[in-house]
Structure 1
Amino acid sequence: MDITVRVEVQYHAPANAVTRDVLEMFRSTTWVRFMMRYVSPRLKSSSPADQAILDELENQEAAEVHEGDECVICMSENPCDGHVALPCGHSFHYPCISSWLQNQSTCPVCRFQFPKAFTG
């Protein structure tokens, strides 16, 4: 199993720092320990939904969208990408919910639990 981790960091370098100094900082064991302290718990709590759920949603026909319905992930009513409905009845843009379920295994509205991609 391959897992890719991307971390976005905003680092305020000292005014007199040069690029070499900043790169050395990022390569240091101190920095690695610091990042692992904050990133590891997040990785351990990550629980993507089973791929079968994503495949099922991809093949689903667009859900009926009612006046005022919006995708709570992107907060848009724009149906350009089509809405799909989860078993709990909540609907979202397919790209939005697909992205969500690749990181979480619950509905973003009611926390309905989907089967997880892996356990342990």
Structure 2
Amino acid sequence: MTSFTRNVLLILQNIPNGCVMTYGQVARVAGSPRAARQVVRVLHSMSKNYHLPWHRVVNAKGQIVIKDEASYNEQLLNLEAEGVEVGEHDRIDLGEYQWNPTAEQIKAILEAKEL
């Protein structure tokens, strides 16, 4: 596993209940600001094995972008169950719900010994 993949997993595992991050934001915090698509790959291939809260990741506009209807509904229901309001055009108010970890939080997360 690459250090970037490990960092992505650690960050995703630490997104608080009721908050979201964008794919690009996760990539940036993980150390590769231009790797949003790699975050999607990690989510797609590793969510089940690492019990990732995949539903807490949205696009840069705060939108749910999953095309599969069942997965879309699951993400929507999970977010709403955590108190995240999903508005028009499947948009989440990033000003209200986006998690922006501090530098200290990021350091502590990335220094974790276990996934």
More relative contact order in 1 or in 2 (CA 8 Å, sep 6+)?
A: 2
TM-score by length of 1: 0.22
Report the structure, 1 or 2, having the larger helix content: 2
TM-score by length of 2: 0.22
Larger CA Rg, structure 1 vs 2: 1
